[in-house]
Structure 1
Amino acid sequence: MKTSGGSDAMKRRAGESAAEAVTDGDVVGLGTGSTAAHAIRRLGDRIDSGLDVRGVATSFASRELATDCGIPLLDLDEAVGPDAPGIDVAIDGADQVAVGGEESEGTGSEGTGSEGTGSEGTGSDEPAAGVGPLIKGGGAAHAREKLVDAAADRFLVVADPSKEVPVLDRSVPVEVLPAGRSAVAEAVRAAGGEPTLRRAERKDGPVVTDNGNLVLDCAFGEIGDPAALARTLSATPGVVEHGIFVGLADEVHVGTESGVRVAKR
């Protein structure tokens, strides 16, 4: 279930700001979604200007866009492992970002304000005191996204202000084995959640992930302890991956009306 919110201009500022943090020779994790897409396009522009980078896609959609933008790609197995280059930085969006959370040691606002290739002021427009846990998976790509984001030396989140919240409270996407759907749904209810099978919008039947699995969108209300819920979901048989990202994000780039705010963990 994809989220809507900030303007495309805000998303573009956030994505382009993160893309400017990529340096020559980097291997870059390429996220999925409308805000991450702006980062991918900006990287393509920088490659046209001589930047030497390679990407690791997190979904069919990000692979397709990266190819269109001329970004050379590696499979995850080629990027991570013995004698592999590793992933220097991953750039990805979020459906919600908890700001000023306990896992943050926020450095405050360091806005770089990007529009096109330039830098424009601090783009304050409030929160972003630090980087807390995230909810991802609106595009049903969170299993591969988590693999890439966790493997990266730095994980940069790109978002617009509508994604910032004091406490995570949106439904948590949970990718499940088709045969385990009912068992996982029962376990989610036992944990205080309400699971709903995600239905496809342009075909009959459920959403099927790039991995061939199903997605349960699980409503828990306000999530007071994301780490504890993450552990519960991870320990549930039949769960492939869930959309709670705890302790992974290093920076969040938030596009605003006037520029970009950058908060660091």
Structure 2
Amino acid sequence: MPTDLPPVDKAKFVAAKRASAYVEDGMTVGLGTGSTAAWLVRCLGERAQTEGLRFRGVPTSERTADLARELGLEITTLEEARWLDLTIDGADEHDARLDLIKGAGGALLREKIVATASERMIVIADASKKVETLGACPLPVEVIPFGWQTTCALIEEALIGLDVMGREVTLRMEGEAPFVTDEGNHILDLHLKRIGDPRRLGLMLNQIAGVVENGLFVDICDVVVTGYADGRVTLHDETRGTLEETRYEFVTEDNIFTDISD
């Protein structure tokens, strides 16, 4: 790993490294999607090579599956695994209650299915992802392509009576064409600025015809592992009500992080 990583990538790396320690031999593990989750997959690949770690991974996207195969990790499907020991994934935002917004990478449907089929969900993030109130980043909503314009209008109408600061809804694009998820759907991004009641909003969205799933993860996450550019990592365990800190040191001569405290 290069030593000249930008600070945000250093933070993501140490969070991923610490979270990878949750994976034990014989586990079945959900592997998230996104830049932070990609660091996790690389850390697990390193453990597999250096420690002989053996586990089965259930990727939440084709991108993650390709990376896992490239690193020689064993992957399987949720249909075959049925139930997972844990899922480790990133987040676009999380609050103090460990409620999340996910879906900037477009894999929110698979991510939520895999996370809810797991005994525990661990989120890895840099410090910028913690917010006082969810909603600063757009909330993704996966919708079927048929009649998406009508679905969009229904969402805009429903938002009028909710505790949010903005109501703009945009279709996510990829170049000049609508973005298409791994399941063949589109994504509407809701620019809400602030979400006063995430639970109510999530339930409302999923009642609208055409909506497949939304990016609010409420009461799903158990632990948030937060990395910092200086090598610090904090673990916020909501189940146990604990907050722990670990620190890693960049070792420039061999480009490896060394754990120097717990």
Q: Give TM class, smaller chain.
A: 0.7 to 0.9
Tell me, in whole angstroms, the C-alpha distance in 2 between the residues paired with 1:160 and 1:180.
37
Tell me, in whole angstroms, the C-alpha distance in 1 between the residues paired with 2:237 and 2:147.
38
Tell me, in whole angstroms, the C-alpha distance in 2 between the residues paired with 1:71 and 1:92.
17
The counterpart of 1:264, out of the listed 237, 242, 245, is: 237
Tell me the secondary structure at the aligned position of residue 165 of structure 1: coil
Matches within 5 A, 1:229-248: 229-248=201-220
Matched letter for residue 219 of structure 1: H
The counterpart of 1:178, out of the listed 116, 131, 145, is: 145
Answer yes or no: is the 8 Å Cα contact 2:10–2:231 preserved in 1: no
Residue 159 in structure 1 maps to residue 132 in structure 2: no
Tell me what 1:121 maps to. Answer: none
Residue 69 in structure 1 maps to residue 51 in structure 2: no
CA displacement 1:61-102 (0-9 Å, x = unmatched): 00001101111011110011xxxxx21010000000112x3x
Residue 11 in structure 1 maps to residue 20 in structure 2: no
CA displacement 1:133-184 (0-9 Å, x = unmatched): 1000000000000000110111000000111001001211011000131122
Cα RMSD of the aligned pairs, angstroms, is 1.2
Q: Percent identity?
A: 43
What TM-score, normalized by structure 2, do the two folds share? 0.83
Moved over 4 A (4+): none
Tell me, in whole angstroms, the C-alpha distance in 2 between the residues paired with 1:241 and 1:67.
28
CA shift in 2, pair 1:209/1:6, >3 Å: farther
Paired residues, number: 223
Tell me what 1:39 maps to. Answer: 40
Tell me, in whole angstroms, the C-alpha distance in 2 between the residues paired with 1:168 and 1:180.
28
Q: CA deviation at 1:187?
A: 1.7
Tell me what 1:28 maps to. Answer: 29
Q: CA deviation at 1:221?
A: 2.4
CA shift in 2, pair 1:39/1:64, >3 Å: same
What TM-score, normalized by structure 1, do the two folds share? 0.82
Tell me the secondary structure at the aligned position of residue 222 of structure 1: coil
Tell me, in whole angstroms, the C-alpha distance in 2 between the residues paired with 1:136 and 1:208.
16
Q: CA deviation at 1:20?
A: 0.9
Residue 251 in structure 1 maps to residue 226 in structure 2: no
Tell me what 1:96 maps to. Answer: 93
Q: CA deviation at 1:186?
A: 1.1
Answer yes or no: is the 8 Å Cα contact 1:138–1:173 preserved in 2: yes
Tell me what 2:169 maps to. Answer: 195
Answer yes or no: is the 8 Å Cα contact 2:226–2:234 preserved in 1: yes
Tell me the secondary structure at the aligned position of residue 249 of structure 1: coil
Q: CA deviation at 1:6?
A: 6.1
Q: CA deviation at 1:230?
A: 0.3
Return 174-183 or 27-36, whichever deviates more.
174-183
The counterpart of 1:148, out of the listed 101, 110, 114, is: 114
**Bigger-Rg structure (1/2):** 2
